[in-house]
Chains A and B, each alone.
Chain A
Amino acid sequence: MGDAAKKLPRIEINPKLCKGCSICVDFCPTNVLEMRGTCVAVKDLAACTRCQLCDLRCPDFAIQVFD
């Protein structure tokens, strides 16, 4: 478990596509994301569990989480 936890995921946000609805922020179980103006941003990458919920519920193809 130790190894996997150390490697941080890569969260790709496409600011051209993000419409700032904040759905991903609101549903992230571990509070990784936050709104900065009208675009989402990563606030606490280490907390990300790679659960993909942000991607799954983003209506705009604007966020994806890579291992």
Chain B
Amino acid sequence: MANTFKVKVNGGPELAVDATEGTLLEALEKHQLEMHYHCRSGFCGACRSTLKSGTVRYTTEPLAYVRKGDILPCCCVPESDLDIEH
């Protein structure tokens, strides 16, 4: 289970996310969270979220501007447990 991390969204419960199964956006959708998105491929930035703790890895290079402290869940996977605001 080295690829599974605990992800907390908007102070909610910890959700298990397998970093080998799709993007963080897809994983959170599987947990029935209402996610903001448009392009789902890193260029529009609509899924922009605040990373309060943890690290992510981009599987596609984001073309949207990623402001300090932000992440784009549509094109990244967790590299550690995460706490995010979405």
Task: Decide whether A and B assemble into one complex.
Answer: no
Interface residues of A (CB under 8 A from B): none
